[in-house]
A and B are shown apart, each in its own frame.
Chain A
Amino acid sequence: MKVFALRSVVLVLAALVFATSPAFSEDNNGSFWPLSGEFSAEATYVGEGSAERGGKRVSDFDEIDSDILLVLTPRTKFGVLRLGAEWQRYSFGFPDQTALPNTLQSFSTMIGLDMQLSDSIIVRAEGQPGLYDSGLGHLDWDDFNLPFFVGGTYIFSPSVQLILGVSVDVERKYPVIPAAGLRWKIGPQWLLNAVLPTPRLEYEMNRYLSLYVGATMKEASYRVDEDFGNSHGISRLNNAIMTYSEVRTGAGFDWKISPIVTFTGEVGYQPYRDFDFYRAEVRYHQDGGAPYGTISLHGAF
């Protein structure tokens, strides 16, 4: 008898716009329902670079980034909930009196939902309400922001998915940023994962080790302290909003060290960085790139 049973296992690692990158753990025979989630702990060091504003050069400053994320993803009748928290910190080694904050920091919660609209479309809506500021010294409700995004994945086939989405942050220079992406499994070992914020071309060496080249794009808005302008010689920067953007390009590896933990190492070059107090019209743009290195532990359970 030739009843057409399920002839091919149908796995797709659906990626959504601006989604975090959960690791691919293995065969945990435990309960995916109801407690499952994603975690990530990441640190990046960016070597000495330069920025420039109207002929004023800020030279030889380095950067240390830290990011810790935990998201629970329980399954509900309506889809997969995303409930979690993230702490992110950029620390810069600026010379004294540079009109840029040494620290940019956010502590946010995550509230989102992944929904299956049809057998071809999955939609994610997620907000990250939290405090986005320049340090914990002067916490204020002014620091509160609620960036969010809505994205959809169209599953063209198990090998090809198209992604469309829009990111909204009312405090950002460009509050609404649309984006498109493509996830294409080119062959058994090759994957083009051209999805923001981490577009990559991946090569799976074996079930434990993958290599990749790609980029990381980051952009977020932060509010500086009430007296930041006074203390840095530009009074209009008091309590100002700054949009920070950076792009990294590099190569790295993902090493699955256990069923739920993946270690990632990446090195590369940071060709773009921008500090923009766009409302106060004070902008520092990159004048010299810098090498960087990133390590992270991440996974899903």
Chain B
Amino acid sequence: MKIAAISRIRCLPPGVVSLAGVFSLTLIADSRSAYADPVSELASFSIFDKVDLAQLAKSDVKTAHGPPMKNSRFLAVQSCYVAPGSPAQQKEALSQWNPTKYRELKVFLHSDLPSNPKPANFEKLKNAPDNASVRSFVAATQKLSPELQISKEEAKRFSSASAGGGGGVIPPAVVAFWTDVLTARTKSFVSGGMAAQPPYDHAGPSIRASDEVNGLLREQGKIRQQFSGLLGATGIGRGGGSLPADLYWELLDANDHGVVTLGASYSRGGTAGTYQTADVLYYASGGYYVALTLHQLWPVTVDGKPSTLVWRGDMISSSELGSLHGVERLGSESVMMKNITKAVTLFRREGR
């Protein structure tokens, strides 16, 4: 976990920016005042305009759908909760979280990646579990399904890979193909961020993950502003960025279909113990174009104990979401909220 702790005020609520001079004097007088009111800061950029900290500390995670967005492919959910311990501890716990431990989260494989990945870093693919999702993933690859999210160039490389055969849940030829795709995409992310990612244009209109994530952020202006300092230093939606990323890949389930995905995580400390994190799934072989999770962590005191107020924003772009309307979309939002609640609950349980 690489943390660049930056002791500058980065996440001021918009309304306080104009009072920066007064604010800094207050900081000198009482360091707690810089974020003495994290609830107000939370209200300034999130959907949670009224949060009772004491009540939240005693309750489960609070989840709500984000504001409606013009692009029908986009969906966002926000959540907040109070966790015991400091933001630094929470951030560390987040970094240690292993979703593969929980079957219900349907993450089959997870592996960290170095900044210069080799094919050996994707060897775990050979050990994929035998289930319907993985078989669906294999079948889609072998027939080069139009639903595969790859570029035309990558699709060309597939034809030679598909000539092979062999046993195993994922045949060697399929492993080799995806190893090639994932290695190349990781390298391009390291060198040029999301902007360098090849488009998804194998069997449809060209979609760029960087455009999608920028669109998601553009439609949530307050969140983009809140996280502008962090995001500006990353490869999320842009070039390489100055902040080092923790890279990983996963094999997971998306709507009953296996999907390989590439992710990058960033985090950065703010003044007096606050933290922000950003986790982007910048490539997926299907199911969604891009997914972004942001965290804002504030130190708070609840019942005399050091705790952390956590805001989490999940946003996703998916072609399948574009096909949903009315109550179907409400249903999808509900399921997304439910899944996030489940994941957060498991995470919090682990921390106790």
Contact = CB atoms under 8 A, between A and B. Distances in A.
A82 B326 contact: yes
B32 interface: no
A9 B324 contact: no
A8 B255 contact: yes
B169 interface: no
Interface residues of A, number: 57
Interface stretch (B13-21, B153-161, B287-295): B287-295
Interface string B84-125: 000000000011111100000111001000000000000000
Interface in B162-211: none
Contacts of A116: 65, 330, 333-334
B291 A6 contact: yes
Interface string A256-273: 000100000000000000
A32 B328 contact: no
Nearest to B266: A1
Contacts of A182: none
Nearest to B245: A1
A212 to B, nearest CB: 18
Contacts of A19: 327
A142 interface: no
Interface stretch (A21-29, A40-48, A96-104, A233-241): A21-29
Given A25-B325, A185-B256, A7 B106 contact: yes
A25 B68 CA distance: 19
Name which of B95, B256, B267 has the most chain A CB atoms within 10 A of its CB.
Answer: B256
Prevailing SS type, chain A contact patch: loop
Contacts of B255: 8-9, 11, 158
B327 A27 contact: no
A280 interface: no
B340 interface: yes
Contacts of B246: 1
A188 B136 contact: yes
A141 interface: no
A27 B326 contact: no
Contacts of B44: none
B256 A155 contact: no
A153 B335 CA distance: 12
Contacts of B105: 4, 7-8
Interface string B314-343: 101011111111111111111111111101
Interface stretch (A62-70, A87-95, A119-127, A129-137): A119-127
A155 B333 CA distance: 11
Contacts of A8: 105-106, 252-255, 287, 339
Prevailing SS type, chain B contact patch: mixed
A292 to B, nearest CB: 28
Name which of B252, B326, B329 has the most chain A CB atoms within 10 A of its CB.
Answer: B326
B281 A24 contact: no
Contact of A28 (B72, B96, B136, B332): B72
Given A2-B110, A6-B314, A119 B341 contact: yes
A225 to B, nearest CB: 37
B333 to A, nearest CB: 7
Name which of B110, B136, B322, B325 has the most chain A CB atoms within 10 A of its CB.
Answer: B325
B78 interface: no
A5 B292 contact: yes
Contacts of B339: 6-8, 10, 158
A73 interface: yes
Given A4-B105, A14-B332, A31-B70, 20 more contacts: A2-B95, A3-B97, A3-B277, A3-B279, A5-B279, A5-B314, A6-B293, A8-B339, A9-B316, A10-B339, A11-B324, A12-B335, A13-B328, A13-B331, A31-B71, A122-B331, A122-B334, A157-B338, A158-B335, A188-B256
A-B pairs, top 5 by smallest CB distance, nearest first, are A14-B331, A1-B265, A32-B72, A119-B337, A1-B246
Interface of A: 1-16, 19, 22, 24-33, 36-38, 73, 75, 79-80, 82, 114, 116, 118-122, 124, 153, 155, 157-159, 161, 185, 187-188, 207, 259, 300-301
24 contacts: A1-B266, A2-B94, A2-B95, A2-B248, A3-B94, A4-B94, A5-B263, A8-B287, A9-B254, A9-B320, A11-B255, A11-B318, A11-B332, A15-B327, A19-B327, A33-B68, A73-B326, A79-B330, A114-B330, A155-B334, A155-B335, A188-B132, A259-B323, A300-B328
